Structure 1
Amino acid sequence: MTYPPQDPGAPAGDPYGQSQPNAGPPAGGYAPGQAGASPYQAPQPGYEPGYAPAAYPGQADPNAAYYTQPAYDPSQAGQIPYGQYGPPPVQATTKNSGGTVLLVIVVVLLMAAGGVGGYFLLGRDGDEGSIASDDSASAEESDPEGGSDGEETAPEEEAAPTPSGTALSVPSLGSLTPIPGEEWIYTAGPGASDELMADAEIYTIQHTPDWISYLGVGLYASTAAAFDPADLNASAEGAASVWLQGAFDTTEGYAQGEIAYTAVEVDGRPGVLAEWRNSWTSAGQYTDDLYEDTAILVVDVDGVNGFIGVASVSESGTASYAPAVEALLATDFDAETA
């Protein structure tokens, strides 16, 4: 085959507005109990404007008793200037000394608590930095990859698998398939990708510059063909259809033989081996061979993942076909060195 593929103002509703700062009294002074001039109020004779009691038409003056009081004489300072009525009463006030004492106690307690908190947060005298030291130690323990000089040490990368020289491996499945003969030459993997398989390893036989025989194993690539553990025959048939796309386009008169399916057991796991012959009338300058035998092995590894192995050997390497198929059937899924 050829090579595959987010200020409050005055209160609302206040008809008086707010008092203006530094505003002087109105002319004539204020009358007691009045906020402004009144049509029922007139100054009383013998009294200074602004101190006359209010009088209303048709009503006895309720403040007449006050008219006989002598005017205040500043020379009598220190004497009682209030007349027969005496001084106005003084409203006694009482200080809530108990509340003040309680408030002071609370403040003292809060200050003491703050001091204790600071003591524990900042450390005792002579022990400053002990917490910082502990934090530093914790940081070092949580960064095991940091170097002794504070430099980070890059994690080691896992080395890619290398060919063993004795077997084809599929690391994701832990499988090893023995190399069937010295004529098979390492070509790719482990971990290579082919259309039908992932995590693959591939060997080939070079018959001419453009024509090879192929041996590869890998994880069944369900993106290429459906893998159904319950129907391994259908899985093998789908794999065969994908394999044949473009494999023999360079030939003339190509014909595919009937596929034979054989139920097999590989390392205690169920599988199916599909085999057929590809033939043609001419391959031009690519090869003089006129046929190639192909075998596809599909194994249900764990009820989810599938193993696939392909051996396709041209007429020129016919003797290598049977050993290649036997090697596929000898695949070990519990290999310690996989």
Structure 2
Amino acid sequence: MTYPPQDPAGQYGPSQPGAQQPAGGYAPGQAGPETYATTQFPGQPPYPGQPGSQPYPQYDPNAAYQAQYGQYGPPPVQATTKSSAGTAILVIGVVLLMAVGAFGGYYFLGNGDDEGRLNADDATVEDTPGGGEGETGEDDGGQDPEAPPVPSGTHLTVPSLESVTPIPGEEWQYAAGPGVASEPLTDAEIYQIQHTESWISFFGVGLYSGAAAVYDPADLNASALSASDVWLGDGFSTVEGYQKSEITYTPVEVDGRPGVLAEWRNSWTSSPDTTDLYEDTAILVVDVDGVNGFIGIASVSETGAALYDPAIEALLATDFGAETA
């Protein structure tokens, strides 16, 4: 088979229309006509010093007070001296408080001395996961405990199901995973044989992807059929005269769990990618726990026909809950 499917207007709105002048011709913000009252003493000519003018009468403030308040004179006036001393003290106090607060914040937040910087650095070291020395003081090598598993070279792993499946033989070469997706497999590990530049045999195991195909633990035959439709996809779209044989379903037990092995042959009359004329495919579906399904796929082209049976045996030898998973 070929490779599987892996202007903005102003923020304050338009300007307001200009203010209309009120009656009288004056508008705010403009210099308008003003009139000032004038006072002229009685009997005073317009221009003092001209002939016929009389000298100004002497002004006696006591006489005016007596005329207004009588013989007792004006009432005593209380002193209303206004001192700016209190205001000055208040302003100085506020300024001092602001200065003390700024200095204290700068000091205690660790920006003003080496101790503050040391505390910040300590926090960074403690909060950084992985790398450096652990609580025991020994170098942990900087390994990430959440790093994905690596291929073992001896078996295929499905981490979510804690399953291991032996590699069918040395002809199979590592391709991807564990933890990759290749519909209808997810959390999968995959091996393959490269027959030509664009034609391979496929061997992979994974968690049955309910998002890609229909998984029903009560009907494993239907689950295998649904998976076969998804997996075939366009894997044989380049061949001429493609035919798919009838699927045979064989009930099996894998590590004490019920399963079904679905098998069929893909055949064609010609292909630009290979000189082979057929490829045998098997899909194993296992009900792991009544909810999750294991799926294994082996599809071996004519050139590697002798490797088909060992691939089936490897799928059926899958172990769940193994310590090496």
User: Under a length normalisation based on structure 1, what TM-score does the superposition of the two structures give?
Assistant: 0.57
Alignment correspondent of 2:313 = 326
Report whether the alignment pairs 1:159 with 2:133: no
- How far 1:334 sits from its partner (Å)? 2.0
Q: Which amino acid aligns with 1:332?
A: D
Q: Secondary structure at 1:217's aligned position in 2?
A: strand
**Cross-structure match for 2:235:** 247
Match of 1:294 in 2: 281
Q: Does 1:257 align with 2:245?
A: yes
Letter in 2 for 1:267: D
Shift in Å, 1:155: 2.4
- C-alpha distance 175-153 of structure 1, shift in aligned 2 (>3 A): same
Query: Of the candidates 263, 268, 275, which is equivalent to residue 280 of structure 1?
Result: 268
CA-CA distance at 1:154 after TM superposition: 1.8
Larger Rg: 1
| SS of 2:177 mapped into structure 1 | strand
1:234 matched to 2:189? no
Alignment-mate amino acid for residue 162 of structure 1:
V
Instruction: Give the Å deviation of 1:153.
Output: 3.0
Number of aligned residues: 197
| Structure 2 counterpart of 1:120 | none
Matched, 1:335 2:322: yes
Asked whether the 8 Å contact 1:277–1:294 carries over to 2, the reply is yes
Partner of 1:124: none
The answer to whether structure 1 residue 270 and structure 2 residue 271 are counterparts is no
SS at match of 2:160: coil
Output the CA distance in 2 between the equivalents of 1:249 and 1:277: 15
Cα separation, 1, equivalents of 2:247 and 2:310? 20
Q: CA deviation at 1:337?
A: 1.0
Report the Cα offset of residue 248 of structure 1.
0.3
Report how far residue 147 of structure 1 moved: 9.7
CA offsets, 1:187-237, max 9 Å, x none? 000001111111000000000111000000000000111110000000001
1:67-97 alpha-carbon deviations (Å, 9 max, x no partner): xxxxxxxxxxxxxxxxxxxxxxxxxxxxxxx
Aligned: 1:184 with 2:172? yes
1:150 to 123, 146, 165: 123
Q: Distance in 2 between matches of 1:207 and 1:320?
A: 13
Gap regions ≥5 residues in structure 1: 6-145
Shift, 1:4, TM fit: 0.7
Q: CA RMSD in A?
A: 1.4
SS in 2 for 1:296: strand
In structure 2, distance between residues paired with 1:150 and 1:324: 54
TM-score w.r.t. the length of structure 2 is: 0.59
Give the match for residue 303 of structure 1.
290
What SS does structure 1 have at the residue aligned with 2:127?
A: coil
Query: Is 1:218 paired with 2:206?
Result: yes
Counterpart of 1:155, as a letter, is P
Aligned equivalents of 2:235 and 2:292: distance in 1?
26
SS in 2 for 1:272: strand
Q: Which runs of 5+ in 2 are unaligned?
A: 6-118, 131-143
Match of 1:30 in 2: none
2:252 and 2:177 mapped to 1: Cα distance?
A: 26
Query: Which residue of 155, 175, 181 corresponds with 1:193?
Result: 181
Question: Offset at 1:148?
Answer: 9.0
In 1, Cα distance between equivalents of 2:195 and 2:284: 24
